[in-house]
């Protein structure tokens, strides 16, 4: 039987988790308001190509998911259909953000189909590995409640393994981009390429830190803290991805107005192999 001190501690931990979700949702809404004018300028009225579709899904599905996750933290109903629905759209948000990063890597690697196939195959392998691990590994710590199993198979702390595989995939993307930057583009003074790389590396750094924090909470923290970063996980992914997109668009607009011949335009981000070869050759010629 739990003592009054244990009950008070658990209530305090649950309250802390709610405050963390309130803070994450507030920051998300604030950032959305700050960047809404950029969205109107850079997205609205443009044709529906792959970049706009992925951006729209990543930005607006994350808004819906963050609001629903926030409500679930405040009014949790374990094993309800509502919880299953939130899980599905949360994974949808994560996938949309990863697609942005895959396309970014694809652009840096000169639209190599071989690289794209490898990245997609690796993503499938990681997804299968994460699913198998979540379903079959029963990981728990002393003191965890015996009735704390998730609905269906798996255990609550197994969610940390999903974060582990996601972090590993992010590190692979980061390593590929870093290697490509210093091997192929070290002599190219391109403003848009530097923006693409440095914004990407900062986003990747913070998202890796975020997912590592989520992983540690799921694996090592008391179960009352489990939901502390649920809203932040979805919201911050969308915030960083949106800011990368807007920064690249703004940089491209600046280059087009200034007419800089030594800067790579955003044509590679339209995912047209022909445009990549022409813009890259122009950059390399100007750099030499």
Go through the domains of the chain in sequence order and give each one's CATH number: 1-254 (1.20.1070)
Rounded Cα gap, residues 264 and 77, in angstroms: 51
* pLDDT of the residue at 275: 39
* pLDDT of the residue at 13: 78
* Higher per-residue confidence, 270 vs 40: 40
Rounded Cα gap, residues 203 and 216, in angstroms: 20
* pLDDT of the residue at 73: 82
pTM of the predicted model, to two decimals? 0.78
Mean predicted confidence (pLDDT) in 13-36: 90
67 CB-contact burial (10 Å; exposed 0-12 / middle 13-18 / buried 19+): middle
pLDDT digits (tens, 9 = 90+) for 93-103: 988 888 888 88
* pLDDT of the residue at 51: 80
149 CB-contact burial (10 Å; exposed 0-12 / middle 13-18 / buried 19+): middle
Q: Which of 190, 199, 176 is nearest to 255 (CA)?
A: 190
Of the pLDDT bands very low, low, confident and very high (cuts 50, 70, 90), residue 258 is low
Residue 63, pLDDT > 80, answer yes
Kindly report which listed range (19-33, 104-118, 203-217, 247-261) carries the lowest average pLDDT score. Answer: 247-261
Mean of the per-residue pLDDT values of the chain? 78
Q: Which of 239, 241, 217 is nearest to 25 (CA)?
A: 239
* pLDDT of the residue at 32: 93
């Amino acid at each position: 039987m739990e003592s009054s001190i244990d009950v008070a501690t658990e209530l305090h931990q649950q309250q802390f988790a709610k405050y963390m979700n309130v803070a994450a949702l507030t920051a998300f809404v604030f950032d959305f308001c700050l960047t809404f004018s950029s969205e109107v300028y850079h997205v609205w009225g443009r044709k529906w190509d792959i970049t706009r579709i992925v951006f729209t899904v990543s930005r607006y599905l994350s808004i819906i998911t963050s609001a629903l996750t926030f409500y679930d933290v405040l009014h949790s109903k374990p094993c309800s259909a509502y919880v299953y629905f939130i899980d599905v759209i949360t994974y949808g948000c994560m996938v949309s953000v990863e697609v942005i990063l895959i396309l970014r890597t694809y652009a840096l690697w000169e639209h190599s189909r071989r690289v794209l196939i490898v990245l997609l195959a690796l993503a499938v392998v990681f997804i299968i590995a994460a699913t198998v691990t979540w379903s079959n590994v029963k990981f728990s710590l002393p003191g965890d409640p015996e009735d704390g199993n998730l609905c269906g198979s798996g255990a609550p702390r197994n969610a940390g393994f999903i974060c582990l595989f996601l972090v590993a995939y992010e590190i692979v993307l980061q390593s590929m981009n870093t290697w490509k930057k210093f091997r192929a583009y070290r002599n190219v003074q391109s403003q848009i390429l530097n923006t693409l790389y440095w914004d990407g590396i900062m986003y990747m750094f913070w998202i890796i830190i975020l997912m590592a924090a989520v992983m540690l909470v799921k694996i090592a923290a008391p179960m009352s803290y489990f939901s502390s970063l649920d809203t932040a996980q979805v919201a911050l992914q969308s915030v960083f991805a949106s800011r990368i997109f807007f920064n690249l668009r703004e940089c491209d607009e600046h280059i087009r107005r200034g007419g800089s011949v030594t800067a790579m335009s955003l044509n590679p981000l339209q995912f047209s192999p022909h445009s990549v070869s022409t813009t890259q050759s122009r950059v390399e010629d100007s750099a030499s």
